[in-house]
C-alpha cells in the first residue's frame, strides 16, 4: 500500500470542485496544535499516541498516528508495531484523562495565542513547506513504483508471448492472462481509486476528530449541521468512487481489497450491510423518541427485506454463471463459448454492486431525516469510530503472536 501524506491529498484536493482550503489548514492546524501539546509536556513520548477511553466518543484513532508521526504508514499496513501501541498505552494509563482532554479541546490554552495573525501565518508557512516536501517525496516513491510495474508488465508480456509460441491451448494462455490480469485501463482505475481512498480516509478521520470536538464543545445546532452535511456528502463521494471503479473491475469492489481484513469480514456485496450498521449505531444515538424508535424499526425492517431480495438475486446470479460455465461437455479442454456466455451474465454483477451501494446511501439518507442534527452527528461519529475500531482490529490481528501465548504487553513484542 502506498504511503501518502496529507499534503499530497491537500494539493490534489484543490482539483475537487468542493475543496475548501480552510479545511486543509484547520486539519493541519489541529494536528500541529495537538503535536505541540504533546511535545511541550516534555514526556518521553514516541510520536505514536494511543489514548484508550471507555466510551466511543473519546477514543483516539490509531489512524491519526500516520499523520502526526512521519514514519508511520496508514492503518492497512501490517508494519505498525502494536508493541509500541500497547507500550505507550501503559505509560499513558495515568495521563490519559488529561491528555485526551487537552487533545479534544486544544482551544483552551492555544487559541488565545494563535489568534495573533502573525503566529498563524508563520505556522501555516511552515506547514506548507513541510507539506510540499512530503509531497515531493511521495511523488518520487509513486513514480518509482509505476516504473517497476511497467517493467514487470513488459516481462509478463514477454512470458505470455513465449507460452503462445509453444502452441499451448489458447485456453491455457487465457488462464495466464487472467492471473496477470489486467489491461492498463483496469489497473489505472484501481490505482486511482486506491489513491483517492487513502485521501478519503484521511479526510474521514479529520471529520471524526471535528465531530468529536464539536459534540464535546457543545457547539450550536447550526454549526453542527454543517459538520453533519459534510459527513453525509463525504460518504456520497465514496459511493461515487466505488461506482467508478466497479465499472473498471467489479471483482475488485466485491472483494473489498482496499479495506482492512476485519472490514472485509463483514462485507456484503462490496460493503457493509446497512441493517447491521443500524443495529450497531442506534444504541449510540439514544435517547430516541417513541416516534423515532418506530421509524428506525421500520427502516431496519425495510432494509433487511431489500437486503434479502438482493442476496437472493446474487444467489441466482451465481447459479446462472455456474450453470453457463458448466454447460456442454467438459473434458475436451476447449471452453471459449461457455466463458463468453458467462461473461455476459457476469455483467449483471455491476448492477448488484450499484444496488447495494444505493441501499447504503438510502439508509443513510433516511436516518438523516429521522434524526435530529445532534443525533445525526452522534451517529456519524459512532459510525466513523466503529470503522476505526475495525481497522485497529485488523492491524492488531495481523501482528498477533502465533501459538498459545496470551496477548499481554510483554508477549506482543
Terminal-to-terminal C-alpha distance of the chain: 23
Q: Which stretch binds other proteins (CB under 8 A): 2-10, 176-184, 306-314, 398-406?
A: 306-314
The three cell numbers locating residue 360: 447504503
User: Helices H, strands E: what count in the chain?
Assistant: 18, 0
Q: Which is nearer to other proteins, 298 or 411 (CB)?
A: 298
Chosen residue from 52, 57, 69, 313 binding other proteins by CB under 8 A:
313
Q: Which is nearer to other proteins, 83 or 302 (CB)?
A: 302
Q: Which stretch binds other proteins (CB under 8 A): 74-82, 198-206, 309-317, 335-343?
A: 309-317
Query: 3, 145 in Cβ contact below 8 A?
Result: no
The reply to whether 269 sits near other proteins by the rule CB under 8 A is no
3-state secondary structure of 365: helix
Buried b (16+ CB within 10 A) or exposed e, 142-154: beeeeeeeeeeee
The Cα 77–Cα 394 span in angstroms is 9
The reply to whether 234 sits near other proteins by the rule CB under 8 A is no
205 CB burial (10 A radius; 0-12, 13-18, 19+): buried
Q: Which stretch binds other proteins (CB under 8 A): 45-53, 193-201, 325-333, 354-362?
A: 354-362
The reply to whether 336 sits near other proteins by the rule CB under 8 A is no
The reply to whether 312 sits near other proteins by the rule CB under 8 A is yes
3-state secondary structure of 252: helix
Q: Which is nearer to other proteins, 247 or 316 (CB)?
A: 316
Q: Which is nearer to other proteins, 111 or 308 (CB)?
A: 308
Q: Which stretch binds other proteins (CB under 8 A): 154-162, 171-179, 221-229, 355-363?
A: 355-363
Please give the C-alpha separations between residue 191 and each of 195, 203, 256, 267, in angstroms, as whole numbers: 6, 19, 14, 21
Angle at 22 between CA 48 and CA 195, to 5 degrees: 60
Chosen residue from 91, 225, 234, 358 binding other proteins by CB under 8 A:
358
The reply to whether 235 sits near other proteins by the rule CB under 8 A is no
Chosen residue from 355, 368, 372, 399 binding other proteins by CB under 8 A:
355
Chosen residue from 92, 303, 353, 371 binding other proteins by CB under 8 A:
303
Shortest distance, CB of residue 309 to other proteins, whole angstroms?
Answer: 4
Q: Which is nearer to other proteins, 183 or 351 (CB)?
A: 351
The reply to whether 314 sits near other proteins by the rule CB under 8 A is yes
The reply to whether 292 sits near other proteins by the rule CB under 8 A is no
Binding mask 115-144 for other proteins (x = CB under 8 A): ------------------------------
The reply to whether 38 sits near other proteins by the rule CB under 8 A is no
Q: Which of residues 145-204 bind other proteins (CB under 8 A)?
A: none
Task: Give 123-130 contacts, CB < 8 A, sequence gap 24+.
Answer: 123/29, 123/32, 124/25, 124/28, 124/29, 127/25, 127/28, 127/29, 127/32, 130/7
Task: Give 335-344 contacts, CB < 8 A, sequence gap 24+.
Answer: 335/171, 336/170, 336/171, 336/174, 339/174
Q: Which is nearer to other proteins, 213 or 320 (CB)?
A: 320
The reply to whether 310 sits near other proteins by the rule CB under 8 A is yes
Quick one: DSSP state of residue 104?
H
What residue ranges bind other proteins (CB under 8 A)?
A: 295, 298-299, 302-303, 305-306, 308-310, 312-314, 316-317, 320, 345, 348, 351-352, 355, 358-359, 362-363, 366
Amino acid at each position: 500500500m502506498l504511503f501518502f501524506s496529507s499534503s499530497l491529498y491537500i494539493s490534489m484536493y484543490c482539483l475537487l470542485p468542493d475543496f475548501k482550503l480552510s479545511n486543509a489548514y484547520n486539519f493541519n492546524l489541529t494536528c500541529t496544535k495537538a503535536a505541540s501539546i504533546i511535545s511541550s509536556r516534555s514526556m518521553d513520548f514516541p510520536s505514536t499516541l494511543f489514548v484508550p477511553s471507555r466510551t466511543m466518543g473519546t477514543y483516539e484513532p490509531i489512524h491519526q498516528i500516520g499523520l502526526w508521526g512521519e514514519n508511520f504508514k496508514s492503518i492497512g499496513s501490517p508494519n505498525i508495531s502494536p508493541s509500541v501501541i500497547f507500550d505507550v498505552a501503559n505509560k499513558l494509563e495515568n495521563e490519559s484523562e488529561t491528555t485526551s482532554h487537552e487533545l479534544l479541546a486544544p482551544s483552551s490554552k492555544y487559541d488565545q495565542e494563535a489568534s495573533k495573525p502573525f503566529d498563524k501565518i508563520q505556522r501555516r508557512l511552515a506547514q506548507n513547506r513541510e507539506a510540499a516536501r512530503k509531497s515531493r517525496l511521495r511523488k518520487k516513491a509513486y513514480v518509482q513504483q509505476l516504473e517497476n510495474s511497467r517493467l514487470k508488465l513488459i516481462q509478463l508480456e514477454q512470458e505470455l508471448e513465449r507460452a503462445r509460441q509453444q502452441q499451448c491451448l489458447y485456453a491455457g494462455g487465457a488462464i495466464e492472462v487472467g492471473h496477470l490480469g489486467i489491461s492498463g485501463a483496469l489497473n489505472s482505475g484501481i490505482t486511482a481509486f486506491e489513491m483517492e481512498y487513502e485521501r478519503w480516509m484521511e479526510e474521514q478521520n479529520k471529520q471524526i476528530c471535528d465531530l468529536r470536538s464539536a459534540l464535546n464543545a457543545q457547539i450550536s445546532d447550526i454549526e453542527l449541521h454543517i459538520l453533519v452535511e459534510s459527513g453525509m456528502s463525504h460518504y456520497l463521494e465514496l459511493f461515487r468512487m466505488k461506482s467508478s471503479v466497479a465499472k473498471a473491475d467489479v471483482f475488485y469492489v466485491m472483494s473489498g481489497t482496499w479495506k482492512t481484513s476485519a472490514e472485509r469480514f463483514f462485507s456484503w456485496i462490496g460493503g457493509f450491510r446497512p441493517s447491521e450498521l443500524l443495529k450497531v449505531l442506534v444504541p449510540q444515538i439514544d435517547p430516541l423518541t417513541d416516534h423515532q424508535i418506530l421509524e428506525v424499526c421500520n427502516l431496519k425492517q425495510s432494509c433487511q427485506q431489500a437486503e434479502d431480495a438482493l442476496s437472493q438475486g446474487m444467489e441466482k446470479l451465481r447459479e446462472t454463471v455456474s450453470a453457463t460455465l458448466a454447460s456442454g461437455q467438459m473434458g475436451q479442454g476447449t471452453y471459449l463459448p461457455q466463458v463468453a456466455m458467462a461473461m455476459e451474465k457476469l455483467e449483471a454483477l455491476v448492477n448488484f454492486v450499484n444496488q447495494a451501494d444505493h441501499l447504503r446511501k438510502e439508509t443513510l439518507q433516511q436516518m438523516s431525516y429521522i434524526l435530529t442534527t445532534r443525533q445525526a452527528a452522534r451517529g456519524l461519529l459512532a459510525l466513523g469510530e466503529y470503522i476505526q475500531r475495525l481497522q485497529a482490529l485488523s492491524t492488531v490481528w495481523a501482528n498477533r503472536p502465533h501459538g498459545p501465548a496470551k496477548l499481554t504487553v510483554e508477549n506482543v513484542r
